[in-house]
Chain A
Amino acid sequence: MMSWAPQLGLAMFVAMVVLMALRMPISAAMFIPGLVGYWLISDGASTLNFLKGSAVARLTVYELSVIPLFLLMGQFATQGGLSRDLFNAAAAWVGHVRGGLAMASVLSAGAFGAVCGSSVATSATITQVAYPEMRRHGYKGRLSTASLAAGGTLGILIPPSVPLVVYAILTEQNIAKLFAAAIVPGILAMLGYLAVIGLYARARPDMAPLTPALPWPEKWAALVKIWPILGIFLVVFGGIYGGIFSPTEGAGVGAVLTLLVGLFKKDLKLPGLQTALLSTAETTAMVFLIFLGADMMNATLALTEMPKMVASWVSGLPVAPLAIVAAVLVLYIALGCVMDELSMLLLTIPVIFPAVMALDLWGLSYELKALWFGILVLMTVSFGLIAPPVGLNVYVVNNLARDVPMSETYKGLVPFLVWDIGRLLVLLMVPSLSLWLVGALFQR
Chain B
Amino acid sequence: MLLSSMLLAPLCRAFALVGAAVALVTGLLTTVSVVMRAGWSQPIPGDVEMTQMGIAFAISLCLPYCQLQRANIIVDFFTQATSERRRQVLDALGNLSLVVLYGLLAWRTSVGALSVREAGETTMIISLPMWWAYACLAPGLALAGWVALVQGLSGFSSSSQEVAA
Contact = CB atoms under 8 A, between A and B. Distances in A.
A99 interface: no
A429 B74 CA distance: 35
A310 interface: no
A56 B137 contact: yes
A230 interface: no
Contacts of B90: 22-24
B59 to A, nearest CB: 5
Interface string A46-59: 00100111111001
Interface string B94-107: 11011011001100
Given A252-B27, A256-B27, A285-B62, A65 B79 contact: no
A68 B20 contact: yes
Interface in B78-133: 78-79, 87, 90-91, 93-95, 97-98, 100-101, 104-105, 108-109, 111-112, 115, 133
Nearest to B134: A56
Size category of the A interface is 35 or more
A281 B144 CA distance: 13
B51 to A, nearest CB: 6
A24 B94 contact: yes
A52 B115 CA distance: 9
Contacts of B55: 59-60, 64-65, 68
A interface majority secondary structure: helix
B156 to A, nearest CB: 15
A56 B108 CA distance: 11
A26 interface: yes
Given A23-B94, A65-B26, A252-B31, A292 B101 contact: yes
Contacts of B31: 252-253, 256-257
A300 interface: no
Interface in A1-48: 19-29, 31-32, 35, 48
Interface in B20-69: 20-21, 23-24, 26-31, 33-34, 38, 48, 51-53, 55-56, 58-63, 65-67, 69
A23 B100 contact: no
Nearest to A68: B23
B105 A28 contact: no
Contact of B94 (A28, A48, A68, A249): A28
A255 B24 contact: yes
Contact of A278 (B51, B65, B98): B65
Contacts of A286: 66, 71-73
B16 interface: yes
Interface stretch (A170-178, A211-219, A335-343, A354-362): A335-343
Contacts of A255: 23-24, 27
- Interface centre among A23, A284, A286, by most chain B C-beta atoms within 10 angstroms, is A23
Given A56-B112, A284-B62, A343 B34 contact: no
Contacts of A288: 59, 62-63
Contacts of A239: 34
Contacts of B134: 56
Given A277-B21, A282-B66, A343 B48 contact: no
B72 A68 contact: no
B141 interface: yes
A60 B56 contact: yes
B81 to A, nearest CB: 12
Among B59, B115, B144, find the residue whose CB has the most chain A CB atoms closer than 10 A. B59
A280 B20 contact: yes
Contact of B101 (A20, A27, A285, A343): A27
A322 interface: no
Contacts of A342: 73
B24 A72 contact: yes
Contact of B24 (A35, A62, A259, A293): A259
B3 interface: no
Which of B27, B105, B144 is packed against the most chain A CB atoms within 10 Å? B27
A52 B77 contact: no
Given A26-B75, A251-B27, A281 B109 contact: no
A245 interface: yes
B34 A338 contact: no
Contacts of B109: 51-52, 55-56
Contact of B23 (A72, A274, A390): A72
Nearest to A52: B112
A284 B54 CA distance: 14
A289 to B, nearest CB: 6
B83 to A, nearest CB: 13
Contacts of A61: 52
A253 B74 contact: no
In this complex, the member of B53, B74, B87, B115 whose beta carbon has the largest number of chain A beta carbons within 10 angstroms is: B74
Contacts of B73: 25-27, 286, 290, 340, 342-343
Contacts of A22: 78-79, 90, 93-94
A389 interface: yes
Contacts of A68: 20, 23, 55, 58-59, 62
Given A28-B101, A59-B60, A245-B34, A390 B77 contact: yes
A10 B47 CA distance: 43
**Top 5 A-B residue pairs of the complex, sorted by shortest distance between their CB atoms:** A252-B30, A285-B66, A281-B16, A252-B27, A52-B112
Given A35-B100, A56-B112, A340-B75, 4 more contacts: A60-B56, A277-B17, A281-B62, A338-B78
12 contacts: A24-B74, A24-B94, A54-B108, A56-B112, A56-B133, A251-B27, A282-B62, A282-B69, A285-B16, A288-B63, A339-B75, A340-B75
